[in-house]
Structure 1
Amino acid sequence: MSKAERTRQFIIETSAPLINKKGMAGTSLRDIMEATKLAKGGIYGNFENKEEICMESFLYLRSQLASKLDIAASKGKSAKEKLFNLLEVYGNGKNMVEGCPILNFGTEADDTNPVMREQVKKAILSAQKRFFNIVEEGIQNKELSSEINSEHYSIRVFAMIEGGILCRKVFGNNDQMNIVLDGIKTEFERYVL
């Protein structure tokens, strides 16, 4: 990696948690300069504008979260273990200290930034597909009843988890998230053969 590439990556990795917390509109160039200890020229020598930093920050955060989730799922031997491992990642508030980037960036970009909205949409579909694949694999391996609707279940699970993440941020505790996760597990257990 060249020095310019390392600097660019440093700006992304340093800015990403800040933008995830304060929002795209709420994070100023001055905030990014203070976090990175770089001058304006150092920032704009690597990025066209703040929007590009925001986009790259989202893609970075999304990649980090997806990696944690994929690793957790891969450690499971059965569909149940894979799902429960994923739920453990989502349930651990330390994995998303400033909230879920999909929720944070998606809320802000829904009407104001169509390019970011498309990236968030891809992230949502990818997260839902992760759940879908686990359920489908469970059905194929005769671990789960074919009565479970993989598509509907994956959409519901994702939406409930994102709601739980929002409640965790607003209430400052995991109480409601734990109820959500318990409900997801209970529903899943009904289909285990």
Structure 2
Amino acid sequence: MNKAERTRRFIIEKSASIINRKGMAGTSLSDIMEATKLAKGGIYGNFENKEEICMEAFLYLTETLARRLDGAVNLGRNAKEKFHNLLEAYKGNKDVEGGCPILNFGVEADDTHPNMKVYVKKAINSSQKRILNIISDGIANEEISSTVNPKNFSVKVFAMIEGAILCRRVVENDEQMRIVMDSIWEEFESFLK
């Protein structure tokens, strides 16, 4: 990694949590300058505009989240363990400052940032595919009933988890997250052979 790449990475890492917390519109260039201790020229010498920084910040945040979730899933030896590990990783995901980047950026991008909307859509599809793969592999390995529709289940689980994440942040407790996760797990267990 050369100096320019290191500087870009530094700016992204320092500004990502701010953008996730304050939003794309709510984050000012001065916020980014303060976080990085760089002058305006130092930032715009590495990025074309604030939108590019926001897009790179989103990719950084979602790649970090995906690595953590994939790591949890990969520790499982079978569908039951993989799905359990995934739910536990989501339950424990309080360390991303500002909450889930997919939810945060998605809400802001849906009407006002078409380029960001494309990135968020890919992240949603990837998150749902992680769940779909666990269920599909479980069916193929005869661990899960073949009556389950992996696509429908993955969409429902992802939407329920994102809703629970939002509630946890707004209500400032884990009760609704626990209720949602228990409900998901109960349904999943009913599929096991």
Normalised by the size of structure 2, how large is the TM-score?
A: 0.98
Partner-residue secondary structure (3-state), 1:26? coil
Matches within 5 A, 1:131-142: 131-142=131-142
Tell me how far 1:96 sits from its aligned partner: 2.9
Tell me how far 1:36 sits from its aligned partner: 0.5
Give the aligned partner of residue 172 of structure 1.
172
Residues 76-129 of structure 1, C-alpha deviations (whole Å, 9 max, x = no match): 001011011011111014343421000000000000011100110000000000
Tell me how far 1:12 sits from its aligned partner: 0.3
Matches within 5 A, 1:135-150: 135-150=135-150
Give the aligned partner of residue 114 of structure 1.
114
**1:139/1:95 CA distance change after superposition, 3 Å:** farther
Matches within 5 A, 1:96-111: 96-111=96-111
Residues 126-157 of structure 1, C-alpha deviations (whole Å, 9 max, x = no match): 00000000000000101000111101000000
* Mapped contact 1:89–1:95 kept (Cα < 8 A): no
* Mapped contact 1:21–1:99 kept (Cα < 8 A): yes
Normalised by the size of structure 1, how large is the TM-score?
A: 0.98
Task: Give percent identity, aligned residues only.
Answer: 65
Q: How many residues align?
A: 193
Partner-residue secondary structure (3-state), 1:110? helix
Q: Could you tell me which amino acid in structure 1 is paired with residue 19 of structure 2?
A: I
Q: Which runs of 5+ in 2 are unaligned?
A: none
Q: Which runs of 5+ in 1 are unaligned?
A: none
Q: Could you tell me which amino acid in structure 2 is paired with residue 34 of structure 1?
A: E
- Off by >6 Å, runs of 4+ in structure 1: none
What root-mean-square deviation, in Å, do the aligned CA atoms of Structure 1 and Structure 2 show?
Answer: 0.7
Q: 1:134 & 1:85 partners in 2: Cα distance?
A: 11
Q: 2:149 & 2:69 partners in 1: Cα distance?
A: 22
Residues 46-105 of structure 1, C-alpha deviations (whole Å, 9 max, x = no match): 000000000000000010000001100000001011011011111014343421000000
Give the aligned partner of residue 192 of structure 1.
192
Partner-residue secondary structure (3-state), 1:25? coil
